[in-house]
Amino acid sequence: MNVTVLGATGATGRRVVRRLLADGHTVRAAVRDAARAEKLFGADVATAVVDLAAPGAAPADAFAGTDAVINTAATRSMDKRQAELIDHRGVVAAVDAAAAAGVRRWVQLSMWGTADPSRLPGYLRDTGHAKLAADTHLEKSELDWTIVRPPWLNDSAPGDRITVGDEVEEGSLSREDLATVLVSSLDHPATVRRAFEVTGGGRPIADALDSLAS
C-alpha cells in the first residue's frame, strides 16, 4: 500500500513510518521540513512539503498516488489560535486535498476526550474543540476514515496490549503501541468509519481492534 504520513518527523510519526516500512508499505512523508525527513529516513521514504499552518497547506498533488493517509500531525502549543489553525483548519484542508486526489483511506490521530471536551482539563479544551471539529469534518467526508483517540503518550517499550472503546479510562499509552494501532487500522475492517479511544493495558492489540466490530 502507498501510505502518506502527515507529521512524519514527529515523535509518533517517525514510529509510524518505521512500522509501515517494516510491514512492506511504500511511504511518503508529508512534512514542513523535507530535509529533516530525508535525514531521518534516507532514500527509503519519499517526501512532500505540507505545512498545515500555511494557506493552501495541503495541495492535492502531495497526495497523488496515495492509497491511504495516516495523520499524526498536531500543534505542540496549547494556544487556541494555533490549535484552530493546525488541528482544525489545517487538517480539514488536508482531508479535502486527499479526497480530491482520490485517496480512499484516512487514519486520524486525535486525542482522548475529544468527543466530549468537557472531560478534558481546562488547558486542553481549546485543542479538544479544534480536534473535534476536524474529526467531524472527516466523518462527513467520503473517505473510509478511522479516528484514534489516545491519552498521554510515553516513550516506554511497547506493551502490545490495549483497551479500546467509545470512552475508556484515561491512563497512558506507549508511542510504539500507538504506532501499531494506527498502522494496523489501515486494513482492519472493524476500524473503518469508527472513532475510538485507546489506552495501554488489557487485550492484545489485534484482539482489541477485533472487538470494535461488536
- Torsion over CA: 196, 67, 44, 91 (sign): negative
pLDDT in tens, 93-132: 999 999 999 999 999 999 999 999 889 999 999 999 999 9
pLDDT in tens, 149-194: 999 999 999 999 999 999 999 999 999 999 999 999 999 999 999 9
CATH classification at residue 119: 3.40.50.720
Does 75 have pLDDT greater than 90? no
pLDDT, position 165: 97
C-alpha grid cell for residue 190? 472493524
Structural domain for 195, as ranges? 2-213
Distances (CA, A) of 191 to 9, 25, 34, 72, 179: 25, 19, 31, 17, 15
Distances (CA, A) of 71 to 6, 68, 211, 214: 5, 10, 23, 26
The total number of structural domains that make up the chain: 1
pTM score, two decimals?
Answer: 0.96
